[in-house]
Amino acid sequence: MEILKIVGIALISLIIIILLKQYRPEFAIYISILTGTLILILVMDKLTGIINLLESISNKASINNTFLTLLLKITGIAFLSEFAVSICKDSGEGAIANKIELGSKIIIISMSIPIISSLLEIILKILP
């Protein structure tokens, strides 16, 4: 099971980080980043399967691929910003983490404008 690998890697990394913080606390953040990257690589196969499934459903339902691409980009931005925010918070840089959150929210809102406007057009067509 994939989750056992992920939890195992996380727990081993946690033990290493706890031990490192006693002697070399500056290296703990590197282990944290490496662990996050390794876990991301482990789930990449599942992510590509999800993307392929969404594309297949989109083609069958005749949904505009532009919207699917936008949704995938928005989801990617959300995941990457959450990863960066977590690393910043682990490093004790809460202010930078808050700025990343704010920036990513603004980017997500600006990217979702075409989807929102399309939905509003559909609603206006339905209403008398």
pLDDT in tens, 65-98: 888 889 889 999 999 999 899 989 988 899 999 9
Any domain includes 84? yes
Any domain includes 75? yes
Any domain includes 79? yes
Q: Provide the 3-class DSSP secondary structure of residue 64.
A: coil
Domain count, the chain: 1
Dist. CA 120–CA 115, nearest whole Å? 9
In sequence order, the 6+-apart residues with CB closer than 8 A to the CB of 104 are 77, 78, 80, 81
Any domain includes 16? no
Any domain includes 11? no
pLDDT at 11: 94
pLDDT at 6: 92
Domain that holds residue 84: 64-128
Any domain includes 22? no
Confidence (pTM): 0.77
Instruction: Calculate the CA 1 to chain-centre distance.
Output: 22
Any domain includes 41? no
Instruction: Find out whether 32 and 17 touch, Cβ atoms under 8 Å.
Output: yes
